Amino acid sequence: MAQTALDEQRKTASSEGGKSALLQLRQGIVRRRRWDLFFAAVGFVATMVGVVTLVVLFIDLILDGYEHVLRKEFYFNFPSRRPSEAGIYSSWVGTALVMLVTFVAAAPLGVAAAVYLEEYAPKNWLTELIEINVTNLAAVPSIVYGLLALGLFVYILNFGQSILTAGLTLALMILPVIIVATRESLRSIPVHIREAAFACGATRWQVVKDHLLPYASGGILTGVIIGMARAIGETAPVITIGALTFIAFLPPIPFQNGAGAFEWLFSPFTVLPIQMFNWLSRPQPAFHDLAAGVGIVIIVATLLMNGFAIWLRYRIRQKLTW
């Protein structure tokens, strides 16, 4: 069958139709090359859609909100009914405190969990169960963490709608991010480092704390920063626990005016994204500009954190020589 087809081709090639067949072949090649180039262009444009979106988004925010961002009072005024006097004092302080709680709760817990899974865990069903849970938790929508916190932290543990509740909620949410990043950087440390330490008589914990954690610190830091950057802009879970939108006071400062060291943990609060949501939900355009101002503050904070983390990772990759 194939033989006859080949014969056929040869016949046409040798006959006077040969020239046109060759021409057709060439045209086909040219057409496919052109199609190839065309697709490369389409792919490039599609890729640029993301980049352009980022740029347009940023320009749009800046055009709407730059006036507020440049005002000093914007950072040191409480929210107000009059747009010209409104500021984000209570919300940026709230965000900073919530992030502090999140960091203190999530970083040690995440690193410890990762160290266990990577260095200690025996291969059994329990380890398998933990691994499956870490994977699945990363895919749970953030608002579900809010529902968990509303039921567990706010009402069962009675932490109230406080900074502590919000910090712990976001900590649970970013835990998978930190665990995955820490595991990856532990895994990239070659076995012979561990073997050398064991050979010198180090215990497993000594190996972890004196050798593995210092080597992995860059990767861990990257994971923690990316997790925190996600937490800083996260709105849904914090709204769900019932954070207030209008806060015209700061949490009590420790050891002042009779406040205890940890009273601020249980204070009502608001955070930057909620402040932005609140202003965005109002019909007056003047408040939308305020929202844009908060948006710039949030986006600059997250971009700086993410950018730093990405830079750190590339640097570590380049420096990595075992």
| CB nearer to other proteins: pick between 265 and 309 | 309
CA distance 64 to 58: 10
Q: How far is the CB of 21 from other proteins (least distance, A)?
A: 17
- To the nearest whole angstrom, how small is the minimum distance from the Cβ of residue 255 to other proteins? 31
* Structural contact between residues 193 and 214, judged by C-beta atoms closer than 8 angstroms: no
Shortest distance, position 47 Cβ to other proteins, whole Å: 5
Please count the other Cβ atoms lying within 10 Å of the Cβ belonging to residue 175. Answer: 22
Beta carbon nearer to other proteins, 242 or 252: 242
**Which of 28, 254 has the CB closer to other proteins?**
28
Q: Least distance in Å: CB of 59 to other proteins? A: 10
Question: At its nearest, how many Å lie between other proteins and the CB of residue 222?
Answer: 12
Q: Cβ of residue 257: shortest distance to other proteins, in angstroms?
A: 28
Of 252 and 302, which CB lies nearer to other proteins in the complex structure? 302
- Asked whether the beta carbons of 234 and 273 are under 8 A apart, the reply is yes
Tracing tokens 């929508």 back to the chain, one arrives at: 141
**Nearer CB in complex with other proteins: 26/32:** 32
Compute the least distance from the CB of residue 32 to other proteins, in Å.
Answer: 5
CB of 51 to other proteins, least distance (A): 5
Q: Give the residue with the Cβ less far from other proteins, 45 or 253.
A: 45
Closest to other proteins by CB, 163 vs 186, is: 186
How many Cα atoms within 13 Å fall on the side-chain side of residue 144?
Answer: 6
State the minimum distance, in angstroms, from the CB of residue 124 to other proteins: 11
Nearer of residues 262 and 314 to other proteins, judged by Cβ: 314
Closer to other proteins at the Cβ: 77 or 127?
127
Q: Which three-class secondary structure string do you get for the chain?
A: CHHHHHHHHHHHHHCCCHHHHHHHHHHHHHHHHHHHHHHHHHHHHHHHHHHHHHHHHHHHHHHHHHHHHHCCHHHHCCCCCCHHHCCCHHHHHHHHHHHHHHHHHHHHHHHHHHHHHHHHCCCCHHHHHHHHHHHHHHHCCHHHHHHHHHHHHHHHCCCCCCHHHHHHHHHHHHHHHHHHHHHHHHHCCCHHHHHHHHHCCCCHHHHHHHHHHHHHHHHHHHHHHHHHHHHHHCCHHHHHCCCCCCCCCCCCCCCCCCCCCCHHHHCCCCCHHHHHHHHHCCCCHHHHHHHHHHHHHHHHHHHHHHHHHHHHHHHHHHHCCC
